Structures are given as C-alpha cells and as structure tokens.
Structure 1
Amino acid sequence: MTAMTAEASVSVDIIETAREQVLERGEALRYEQITQVLRTPDGRLEELLALAHEVRMRYNGPEVEVEGIVSIKTGGCPEDCHFCSQSGQFTSPVRSVWLDIPELVRAARQTRESGASEFCIVAAVRGPDERLMRQMREGVAAIRAEVDIQVAASLGMLTQRQVDDLVDMGVHRYNHNLEAGRSYFPQVVTTHSFDERWETCLMVRASGMELCCGGLVGMGESLEQRAELAAQLGELQPHEVPLNFLNPRPGTPFGDLPVMGTGEALRTIAAFRLALPRTILRYAGGRELTLGDLGTRDGLLGGINAVIVGNYLTTLGRDPHEDLALLADLGMPIKALGQTF
C-alpha cells in the first residue's frame, strides 16, 4: 500500500467513524479523532464537508443566526494578543476611540435593519473598569428601549460582580474566546493566562447568560494544537463558537504569517462541527480573505450555521446584502429574533 493510499484509508476510516459516532449517536469527536479529521486529504474533503453539513442539519436545523458587531472602545488595549492590531504594545495603526450612546443606538438600528437578530458590543480592554460598565448600562438600556434586537457583549476578563451586573442589564450572551489551545496559548498572549480566560468563561456559563467562546486558527499552531482548541471548546460547551481565521495585521507579531489555505480552512470548519455537533458555529473574522466567495458557500454547506455580517472590529467584511443573498440562494432561513431569547 502506498503512502497516499494509506492516508486515504485513514481518512475514510475517520469519516465512517464520525458518521456513526457523531451523526448517528450524537457523540462529539475526541481530541485524537479531531486530529485525524484535520489530516483528511483533499480527495475526501467533499465527503467530509457533506458529513459535517448533515450533522449541522440534524442537531441544529437549517436556520442561520445573523449578528452584527461594533466596538464601543477601539485600540489602546494593554494586552499583547499577537494577532490583534488593537494592542497598545504594537505599532499597528489603530488609534483609541470611544463611541457615545447615540452612536451605539444608531449602530444597533443599522444592524437590525441588515436582518441581524443580535448586536454585540465589544471593547478592546483587559477587562471593564467602572467607566465602561457605566457606559454599558446606559448603552444597553438605550438600545433595548429603541431597537428590537438582542444585545451581547465582549469586554474581556470579568469579576463575578461584573458578570452579575451584565445579567442585570439584560445582556443575553457574552463573548470571551479561548483564542488558542492551552499548549499554544503562551505563544499568542503573554500578558494574561489561559486559565484566566477559562475562569471568566465558567462564570459566564454559570450566570445564565449564553457563553460565546471560540478562537483563531492559522496562527502557526500545529494540527494537534488546533485539535486541542476544538476539544477544549467541547469540554467547555459554549452555546456558540465563533471561528476566526488569522488575517495578518501589519505591525503585529503575527503580521507576516501566511494566510491559511482554503482547503485547510474548510477541513477546520468540518472538524469543529464534528467536535461540537450541537453548538452554533459562527463565521467570524478572516473568512473573506481565507475562503473567498466560493469557500464561504462551501463552509455554509460544511457545518457553519451562523455569520457575522458587515465589518469586523478593525478589518472589512463582506457586504451584508451579499451574505443575506447567499443564505437565500442556499435556502437557509435567518433565525428569527424571537428564537434567540
């Protein structure tokens, strides 16, 4: 048996195993199995994506959740996340900017008009101070009074009191990504630890807010470390996993890394779906650069069931109308607002 034939044989075995284990029994793939999926050869990619799509349809249905995001505080972050142009430690050309309450409400209204059912307020901070929490309270109240949309937040690491305050405000979902698997995390961030992020996630999950927790791929991690991230997310069991693909930003430590190839990105989508069969798996940053229009379509037919529409925090996204038209073409209804409560 040649090496190529052996590789294909392994791939067939893991796809067949995943079909029986994940699709039929609803049991997520384990770390070693996720690693095997990430090694699936190109000749089996179409079969792998079809299986991931079947899993998505069986356990999540055809609906797609649509979200828009806005940064209440951009740039000047004290942390050194190596992929992020908002860090104040790097030479990236992102200046510190704060939005006021009318601007937040206007952004929420525009997001709702795009067809989204959720609006996420993001701040480039280690964690929120009293000023930010006060502005969040005022902003969330103003949005809820004027716009028919769910409000989510992403404000860094939290204390228990801050978690309780966000619940009291009516924030229904909190985003706090693991960013990378535990073993690779020190290569990505040095100013805080994996355990600090994990602790915030546990507090959010226990609070009754929905936990949104994902990461980035294509940051130089090995396939094993990518599988580790998927497995650790499976252990955490977030309600939603945003999957970001590195968009190398000038002036950051990861600014010269290559963009992940489309095939590798699609394998990653399928692997995360098979590791998280019942979780909302959301297209997030970098998909436009990594996948393009055709790859974006393939990912929606390979396990993805949520999208961020419009621009991201410091990078441009697709025109929201293009994404909505694609969903309509694929026959994938947008999840109604009432179903996100």
Structure 2
Amino acid sequence: MAPLITREEALRLGQLTDREQILALVERAWEARQEQFGDATDMCSLVNAKSGGCAEDCGFCAQSRFAEAETPMHAMMEPEQMLEHARAAEAAGAHRFCMVTQGQGLSNRDFEKLLEGARLVTEHTNLKRCASVGHINGKRAKQLKEAGINRVHHNVETARSYYPEVSSTVRYEGRLRTVDAVREAGLETCVGGILNLGESEQQRVEMAFELAEIDPTSVPINLLNPRPGTKFGDRDHMDPWDAIKWVAIFRLVLPNALLRLCGGRSENLREWQQMAVKAGLNGVMMGNFLTTLNTDPADDREMFAELGLNIARQRDNGANPRPDNRSGRLAGETPDVVEQYLDNPADAAAAGITIRQWDPSTQLRYVAKEKRVPPRPDGAPNRWPERDAEPTPSAPGLAV
C-alpha cells in the first residue's frame, strides 16, 4: 500500500511544534490505523537469548565490546529456558514472542539451540514465533521457517545517509540482503529503526520512505534510551510531543505495516504513551527489552483497552481478525488455559493453576565490563550524560 502522504508533506509535518496541530496529526493517523486494522492489536514480547560481548560497534548498543556501558552478559540460553520465557510472555498477554541474540551471526551450535527453542515454543504455546539473529542467508532462513518461526526481525536502524554514523562494522547493504533472504524463504519481515541518534528531520523522513520501499510486515520504532558509556550515551531523551509526532508520520508513510513501539518508550514518552498508541500503533514490545527493564504488561494491556482496542487472543482470522493467525502450526485449536485464568487469579488458585507473570525487578542481571575496552573502529568516543533528566510533565487524558 502506497504512503498516504508525500515526502514533502512528511517534511512539513516533521516541522510541527504547535500541540494543537500535532493533535490534529494524531487524529489523522488514528483514522488511518482504524481504517486498515480496525480494533486489532499485535503485542510482542522477547527474550534476550544471548547477551553481551558483541563484536560490532553500533553506537547505541551497550552490548558492543567497544562500549564501556554495563550490560547483561550470558551465553546462548538452552532451548528449555527460551520456552520458559515464552510461557511467561503468553501469561502476560503477548500475541507473539521473539528470540533475540547479539551480534551479526550465530555459530552452528548456537543456531541449533535457537532452532530447538523455536520448535519448543511452537509445540507448547499458542504464540506466533519471531527471531532476530543478525545476518542470515537463504539456507538459514529456510531452517528458521521449518522450525516454526513466522517472522524474522532485522532493522536498518536509521536512514541510509546517516548509517555510517551508527555503525562502521555492519554494512547497510548487508542488512538489506538479510531482509531479501528472509522474504525469499517465505517468512514475514520485521524491519525498523531508532529515532534520536542524531539524525536530521530530513533523514527521519528518508528512513520512513526507505522502509516503505522495503515494505516489511512489521515496523518496530525505537526511541533512543541513551546508555552511558556508548557513542550516543550523552544524548537527551526526545520530547514526548516530538516522539508522538514522528510515530504519526511513520503511520501515514507506512499505512499497512504493523507499527509497534519498542525500546525507549517508557523513558522518552513517560505518561504520554497512550497518546503514541493513538498516533497509529498496532502494538508495543511487552515485558523487558534487551538490556533495560520495561513497564508492567498489565499496564500495557490497559493502555490499549482504554482506547477501545481489542487485546484479547482470538482463535483465527475471522470477521474481525487480528493481523495474524495465532493457531500457527498447531494441528487445531486447543483450550487456552492461560487466557481463561489470566485476569482471575482467585479462580486460577482454586483450580490449582499457577500462572507465572513477568517480574521486571528480577529479569535482568548486569555485569560490569573490564575497565579497558578497545577503541571504537570509527574513532568516536564513548559518552556519558552530564546532567539529570528534565522533570516529567503531566499527560492529558485521551478520548476516542
């Protein structure tokens, strides 16, 4: 589906600062979202299946070996551990689950573990399955599909013209080749990027229209959460109104993409997250992120439900479908015990059923890196914030 606005209009909208005009833009994006998706939602969750020690130099990432930032550090999870996280995600109300690993490729041994994890999640949950494993070729893409993966995530991160500022060790063209391999294997594509890396407004529009040319199934938007000790570690958070404005612009440029807000949403938007939902989101990343904690999934479900959006699991695509089919590879529909008891803990206890929820306070374990890290290949310094965050403004109520 073609963009609903031109590049020139997107550039003009990107310059808006008046809040009433931004609210009018939000309403326009909300109408576009409803026209394409109705009240459907697409809520994700992920597991950081292999963390820390990445050989690449992406300037936003604490997992880079060139960053001085602290980060969770662990080897590849066992398949059974991935399944445990998937079950927790399902209990929290997620519709899909992504297994994510650091770096631009996995060893054969680690890749086999991920494939087995995907098979277990396919067999034992009703979740849609996604993977984010760096660069892959056609052979590995087909193996992922055979293991039960439905969609593969691989971001372009930013506009092509700004990309050299983001990474000097991972080529932009290589990212596109991975996306092509995923599509040729018959898998859905998940391709997005990060805002507030220092790119210009023109480059944000550039990225939006580059994504429109790629035409991915899903577009995750991340808002930089500056990690002290990374190349972009001293950047300020985005103004919430600015972030909301750009979510709406991306919705109008990508009207048929499953648009979701992921990393940095809590830190940048704070109390204004529901406004961003109304600016055109299909869903958010629930649970924890790769190296940072997130909000309570119950709050996320409430945030969407208050706008009249359907967060419930549905059996299949029907008269009022969600954007995907949760039955996946299962032979047939099975009773969803988690859904039955998710919001009724007393009934669950009476039935002798324990549903494990996410506990953000215990999900991540940080370890300090060695004091000496190698210099960044691009010669840029790691940076640290110089001042405290600005006070949090109050958010307005939203009406549908």
Q: Same fold (TM over 0.5)?
A: yes
Check if 1:214 corresponds to 2:192.
Answer: yes
Q: Deviation string for 1:125-157 (max 9, x for gaps)?
A: 111221121101211112222222111000011
- Contact 1:77/1:86 (<8 A) preserved: yes
TM-score by length of 2: 0.77
- Which region of structure 1 is more displaced relative to structure 2, 129-138 or 175-184? 129-138
Partner of 1:36: 12
In 1, the alpha carbon distance for the partners of 2:78 and 2:46 equals 15
Give TM-score scaled by structure 1 length. Answer: 0.90
> Does 272-281 or 325-334 show the bigger shift?
325-334
Alpha-carbon distance, 1:47 to partner? 0.3
Matches within 5 A, 1:1-341: 27-42=3-18, 43-98=20-75, 99-293=77-271, 295-334=272-311, 336=313, 338-339=316-317, 340-341=324-325
1:289-317 Cα shifts (integer Å, max 9, x gaps): 11112x11111111111111111010111
Alignment match, 1:13: none
1:173-212: CA deviation from partner (whole Å, max 9, x where unpaired): 0000110010000000100111110111122122211100
How many angstroms apart in 2 are the aligned matches of 1:219 and 1:238?
A: 22
> For residues 27 and 91 of structure 1, what CA distance do their matches in structure 2 show?
40
How many Å apart are 1:335 and its aligned residue?
5.9
What CA distance in whole angstroms lies between the structure 2 residues aligned with 1:71 and 1:101? 13
Question: How many Å separate the matches in 1 of 2:106 and 2:257?
Answer: 27
SS in 1 for 2:47: strand
Match of 1:3 in 2: none
In the alignment, is the contact (CA less than 8 A) between 2:288 and 2:294 conserved in 1? Answer: yes
Change in Cα spacing, 1:95 to 1:262, as seen in structure 2 (3 Å) is closer
Amino acid at match of 1:97: H
Q: CA deviation at 1:116?
A: 0.8
Q: Which moved more, 1:32-41 or 1:238-247?
A: 32-41
Aligned counterparts of 1:141 and 1:166: Cα–Cα separation in 2:
9
The residue type paired with residue 121 of structure 2 is: I
* Structure 2: runs of 5 or more not aligned: 318-323, 326-400
Partners of 2:3 and 2:212 within 8 A in 1: no
RMSD: 1.4
Work out which of the two has the higher radius of gyration on C-alpha atoms and give 1 or 2. Answer: 2
Residue pair 2:116, 2:147 contacting (<8 A) in 1 also: no
The DSSP-based 3-state class of the residue aligned with 2:243 is helix
Q: Unpaired runs of 5+ in structure 1? A: 1-21
The one-letter code of the counterpart of 2:311 is I
Separation in 1, partners of 2:111, 2:3: 39
Percent sequence identity over matched residues? 34
1:281 shift after superposition:
0.5
CA contact (8 A) 1:205 1:238 kept: no
Q: Deviations along 1:248-282, whole A, 9 cap, x unmatched? A: 00110000011111111011001100100111100
More helix by share: 1
Letter in 1 for 2:276: G
